[in-house]
Amino acid sequence: MKLEGQVALVTGASRGIGRAVAETMAAEGAAVAVNYRSGKELAEEVVAGITSAGGKAVAVAGDVSEYDQAVSMVEQTVSELGGLHMLVNNAGIAKDDLIYNMDPGMWLDVMRVNFGGTFNCTKAALSVFMRERAGSIVNMSSVMGERGWTGESNYSASKGAVNAFTRCCAVELARFGIRVNAVLPGFAPTDMVAGLMEKDGGKGISKQIPQKRFGEVEEVAKTAVFLAGPDASHVTGALLVVDGGVSAQVGVGKPL
């Protein structure tokens, strides 16, 4: 198991891609702190599944948009699991609307969680990583951070910020032995993109994807685990796209 003896904190891990990341890391031998903000029962379900399979995990409450809570999350992880070696900044929200109709608070809410949470948890973890002169951070971004899509201006901007932050962190932290990378998923079946699937079951989107299918959360999770683990020891500052080829082509930018 490639992550045996390692401890990971995965934010927003009670469902979706975050849950898949936590479960995949645990399957590779890592002890996992399963962060949640409001889904306590779901987080405890993830923990129960990991422990029943012989792994080690704890549920860690915390709102990533609040720096003090991010610090507490790191401290609890270290206290209960004995250290911290990997951080996956996965927690995120979406509040989609056309720019003209968007309430000014909507872009700020999305930015505070998606980018603010990434900043807060990264900064909170650095006290551990820099002391150990080792650590791996994986930021869950999106192809939306590199491309445009109707109704996604606030979400795309937040993920664009995450991408830029990833590169800067990689440059700043390399001398401390800390690697920082990002995964850019395309369309995967999660609650966050459910609204995009409402029209015709998502067929208008899937037929624009070269592979003609949506990604699975497990496929995204395996990419995150690769970047976090030893097989990516010389990879830092990378934005790894997992989208079935959709961003490699010229498209219409909205469901047909």
What the block records as the tokens of 36 is 């949640």
Distance CA 33, CA 77 (A): 6
Alpha helix segments (H runs only) across 84-231? 104-114, 116-132, 153-173, 203-206, 217-228
Measured distance CA(238)–CA(224) in Å, rounded = 12
Copy the structure tokens of residue 142: 């999106």
Question: What is the distance between the alpha carbons of residues 142 and 140, in angstroms, rounded to a whole number?
Answer: 7
Per 3-state DSSP, what percentage of the chain is helix, strand, and coil (rounded to 5)? 50, 15, 35
Out of 36, 67, 100, 155, pick the active-site residue: 155
Q: Catalytic residue at 155?
A: yes
The set of catalytic residues is 155
